[in-house]
Structure 1
Amino acid sequence: MDELVKNHWSKKNRQSWVGGIREMNLALLLKWWWRLKEEPDHLWAKVIKAIHHNSRVVSLIPRKKSQPGVRKAIAGVGEDFKKRSIDIQQSLRCLVGNGEKAMVWIDSWTPQGPLKDAFPLIYSMFANKRITVSQFLTENTGESLWGQSWVRAPVNDEETEEFLRLNQTLQHQPVGQGMDRWIWKDGGDDDFSVKKIRMDLSGSIDVNNRPGNFLWNKMATPKSNYFSWRAIEGKIPTADELIKRGMHSVSALCKVCGRANESTNHIFIHYPYADLI
């Protein structure tokens, strides 16, 4: 079936899918993440935080799954990016200025990405997991970087080694001046760009994966389109499909060539006469 999907994913289909409406929609939805990080003190941002705040879950943006509507679609866009092998937490990077907006553990402001992922043991020992960079540097000074926000000190070699690496990372991480800014990946000093996200989404498509939507050919008859769709979905009653449905009295061998099991791939791709089409 995978081979049939590869053949269905023709050059024309790829061109229609790449850079299409879906990519634009995902990029525009992600821009709301950027706005929420850039404008946390605006009234609309405060309303969203008040509605979607979850005291038990610390995330890049506030998300409450029980709340329906447009906001749920915006918060859930991360799953669509994951399907395309793009990690938003790693890609939405923060250029730290005064550190008043960037969260130490959640935002990607160091080369290691979010510190909660790079240093999970130390993250579990920290009390205020929403602390900003500015607050953290104020509370934790000196070589130890050990302040009032910590629940306890490291108690074993693994925790001590991870803490020393965190200490070294923070000491070599520059903190600038001005406001914190968010960019997409390694965009340098460029502002957040929807175009860059669309390009990444377009370039991340794997043609070996099943396309999300079946693209109907208006030049073909409805019967042909329907048959092609059933073939891609594995709904044609070939011998191997009938056996999967419990009809074990059916022989799986191809009745015409007798060389292989009768499957969708065999009929449309491997069958000798299929090569001639």
Structure 2
Amino acid sequence: MKNIFIGLMFLTGIHSFAQEAGKVGELLKNEASKNEMETSVSKTRGSRNSNNSGFRNPNNSGSKIKNPNYQWNQNYGYSEVFLRIPEQGYFNIELGDQMISNNSGKFRFFDLPSGRIPISIYDNGYLLYRTTLNVRNNSRMVLDFFTDQGLFLLDSYPVRNQSYGFNNWNDVWNNPYGNQENNWNNSGNYVNVMDHNTFDQFLEMLQKNARFDDSRLAMINQQAHSVMFTSQQITILVKEMSFDKNKLSLAKSMYFKCADKSRYFLVYDAFDFESSKRELMDFIAKS
């Protein structure tokens, strides 16, 4: 009986820490119509349609141009999109003017221009999903797709100097689920970021043991010596302050302990007065 009980507890523990479809991330709306999804499209291995030739201007891909006007250093911006499909199958992903087909379930797109980029997901020639991604310059967008759940935006990380900044490809997708304690900083390197479960424990201790702003600031600053925080976590901590001047003081100091500074605009929501928001904006602009 004891062995059965231990076995059940073990299985329960494994399930509680497993990644689940739809558990994290922002669900992106499927814009494909029912008619499109029921019509097979030729998306077989090695095939490409006329709008995905690999050239930025497909109309010129098949003709020889005399005296071409080369443009060597056009700045389209640089962005990356990483998409994972943790299911068996041979999928085709079209993202802008790029297309990747494989059965590994991992699709990594580089050298993307910033802006709104359409994405389409096919399985065995049938369109499963279509939507538009709003890709920022110098960023890596990370997504998960589940055929019965949809496309989820897990997070967007800053990318500097087109550097990878990680050792294991799987960590890119696993981190948003809280399975890893590492995350990104603005230089593209690993830093020690407080995971979601630890942050919840820290917040509970803060609310229980620090009743006034002074003690809250001291407790947060002490913790910040050994760990980094996300913009969302910092927003929650700033909201714990009772007075706007203390909120502003904390928001300024925590900016240097933020792992995803590109999302620091979330912290503005923690303030009650527009003047405090503007002062924080000015501070960040000069930092």
What's the TM-score, normalizing by structure 2?
Answer: 0.24
> Greater Rg, structure 1 or structure 2?
1
What's the TM-score, normalizing by structure 1?
Answer: 0.25
User: Using CA pairs below 8 Å that are at least 6 residues apart, which structure has the higher relative contact order?
Assistant: 1
Q: Name the structure where helix makes up a greater proportion of residues.
A: 1
Q: Name the structure where strand makes up a greater proportion of residues.
A: 2
